[in-house]
Chains A and B, each alone.
Chain A
Amino acid sequence: MSDVVTLPPLPREVPELVADPAGIREYAADLLAASTQVDELGSFVAGDARIPDWTGLGATAYRDAIKSTGRLADAMSLALRDVARRVDQHAVALQSMLDRHGALVDERDLLVAAIAELRARVAGATADQAPALQLVCDDCAVRVATFEIDLDRWITDLMAEEEAIQEAFARALTLDQVERRYAGTDDPADAALDSMPGPNASPRDVKSWWEALTREQQLAVIAASPGSIGNRDGIPPGARDAANTVSLDSDLVDWGSLEDQGLLTDDERQWLANARAAKQAISTIEDGIDPQTLAPVCSQLYLYDPTAFDGDGAVAVSAGDLATAHDVAVTVPGFGTDGQSAPYQADRALDLYEATRSVDGTTGVASMFWIGYDAPDNLPWEGTGWDGAGVAGEGLAAAGGERLADLLDGLRDSRDGDRAHLIAIGHSYGSTTTGHAAHDEGIPVDDLVFVGSPGVGGDTNDVGDTGVDPDHVWAGANSRDPIADLGNHGWVHLESVLGGAGLGDDPAEDDFGAIRFEAESTTRPGHLDLGQHSTYFDHGSESLYNLSQIVSGNYDAVLGADPVTDPWYAGPQDPEWDRDPTERDTLDDP
């Protein structure tokens, strides 16, 4: 009967929310208590500290000196109080988010149960019962759609609130900022920032705001409050790079000096390591040489947040100019990636840049690696054994997908001039994230590529679910790569074996419908080997060759490969297993 009655779709999972409003209020209380103490200093300076009977040059010098201390104390106290107030509001907002979260989870549970029941009814129904059943299913589908909208709204509100509180912290972080803002001096940055659109604004609105500022205001914002715009979607890439570079350089100096004095906390030590990794990623790219012009490759620090994700760090650097390049590739890495992966990822991004620029007729290219989501820390393979319990589920990928979708929207909307040819490349767990971004949010890419994918998300069963033109969905899988082997294989669903560890369907399989390309390596052994999982961007490899053709839009030159099949009688079959791998010329030069 299921081919006559259409069942309603399953509602998405509600992402986890871990927060403690009481704890947040405690933090605010501590700030407020400190602000009171600082305020007392200000009052003391204005009153009892003055020693009115003391006259002469010494007295004047003393009173002048303490006056500036008093001014600073007043400004600091105001700043701390403002932030404490905002943190209190944040506690309230999060309580509301938690309440809404509970309601969403309850609603989803009801819907899932209802759909299961409907499935059973449909299975046992007769033909004349079908129309009535369909009506019930349709009603349920409407409820699911409403739930999805509510969930979207909740996610957006949560992300907006997180951005807003981060902005509040960022604007009162240094004494410079505090003095400028609270001690009464006019600063072009303040007026500009006060008119900045709130966190819920679209990238287009943010771009309009930025472009309406005077050059002086823009420079002032970059210098005085780079954290406010450096990672904001809608701000043009050049400005983001300028702002993030200011933040990075000042972090290196500040934490570096604390390091010299032996005063770093453990947290700060990690943040400093993330900052250094970002710096190194930039120099790695700038050491590269463009194959066409022989000029050094330019870099852009598009995302920089060394404290993100509990200190794992977020960073994205582009080889090439994101604002003007015609072909723009965003690569999303996977397991174990964090801020300190930046230099290695920069090398891969540079390799892709060089290979793409080596393709005849290619114009401007930008190849960016994006470490902008919380990737799973632990690897599913510990030593020589499979660690089913340690495998990340799809939760981190789903959360990451939201961020990736925002990034890609922002990149599109922040550019002027010709529309870019935008390509998203997901590697490893990054492909699960990219799959989620495509399915859950929709992404404005022209080409979608999965390499070494353990699965592209449980709800994405074929190219039709990605929202991207099926002729532009690609998959590369090295036959010896055990991670690429993990995707659900037809009727053998590994998730039921490995305690829910499955990450979705294998995009290299025929059922999925993606265009598979050759991705074997001449270093491959005769058996599955983890080392093969990292070969997709190596110079000289089939995979990098094909990636470079896709990125430059040279689709006819892509070397196709037959997909993996999964007949019921024999288990997954990979025709690439027996083909002899080749070396490809990916670099137009030495």
Chain B
Amino acid sequence: MAEPFTMAVPSAMGVTARAWDEQHLDLRAAGGQVAAAPTGGFTSGVAGAAARFAGSWQRHVTGLAATAETRADGLRTTATDYARTDDAVASDQLLLDIALREDR
């Protein structure tokens, strides 16, 4: 016997997707902060290494941000598919749509 369909899981996915969005934005900002870290205070023998470190880490953190964004998008897609495979009523679909609206 099929389980009765509820909106709980897709709606939880929606919430979590928005949380991933936030992580994405925060991490992008953090990446920018690392890139802007000032190297002028170091001696000339070290400034280059400091700049290189900051540049690399800006990419690492931004990469993490991109992963968060992918997670968010993936969850939204999954939630939509998840809901469509079951018999959902229109009102539930509306609730789902609200729950899945992307927070940018």
Contacts and interface: CB of A to CB of B under 8 A. Distances in A.
Question: When A and B assemble into the complex, do they touch directly, with CB atoms less than 8 Å apart?
Answer: yes
Contacts of B5: none
Interface residues of B, number: 47
A34 B49 contact: no
Nearest to A309: B44
A34 B41 contact: no
Contacts of B8: 53
B40 A23 contact: yes
A389 B100 CA distance: 68
Contacts of A62: 74-75, 78
Nearest to B56: A173
Interface in B39-68: 39-57, 60-61, 64, 67-68
Contacts of A162: 43, 45-46
A311 B45 CA distance: 10
B23 A175 contact: no
16 contacts: A26-B37, A27-B54, A30-B37, A31-B34, A33-B33, A37-B30, A41-B27, A49-B20, A54-B9, A76-B60, A90-B42, A166-B46, A166-B49, A169-B52, A267-B51, A307-B49
A19 B53 contact: no
Interface stretch (A65-73, A114-122, A348-356): A65-73
A76 B46 contact: no
Contacts of A83: 53
Interface of A: 17-27, 30-31, 33-34, 37-38, 40-41, 44, 48-49, 51, 53-54, 58, 62, 65-66, 69, 72-73, 76, 80, 83, 87, 90-91, 94, 158, 162, 165-166, 169-170, 172-175, 178, 265, 267-268, 271, 305, 307-311, 374
B43 to A, nearest CB: 5
B16 A51 contact: yes
Contact of B19 (A30, A38, A49, A311): A49
A40 B23 contact: yes
A373 to B, nearest CB: 10
Interface of B: 8-9, 12-13, 16, 19-20, 23, 26-27, 29-31, 33-34, 36-57, 60-61, 64, 67-68, 71, 74-75, 78, 82
Contacts of A178: 60
B79 to A, nearest CB: 10
A18 B34 contact: no
Contacts of B55: 265, 267-268
B13 A169 contact: no
A174 B56 CA distance: 7
A73 B38 CA distance: 24
Nearest to A158: B43
A170 B53 CA distance: 8
Contacts of B71: 49, 65-66, 69
Contacts of B78: 58, 62
Given A27-B41, A53-B12, A162-B46, A307 B34 contact: no
Given A23-B40, A41-B23, A174-B56, 16 more contacts: A19-B43, A22-B41, A24-B42, A27-B50, A30-B34, A33-B33, A34-B33, A49-B20, A54-B9, A62-B75, A76-B61, A91-B41, A162-B45, A172-B53, A178-B60, A268-B55
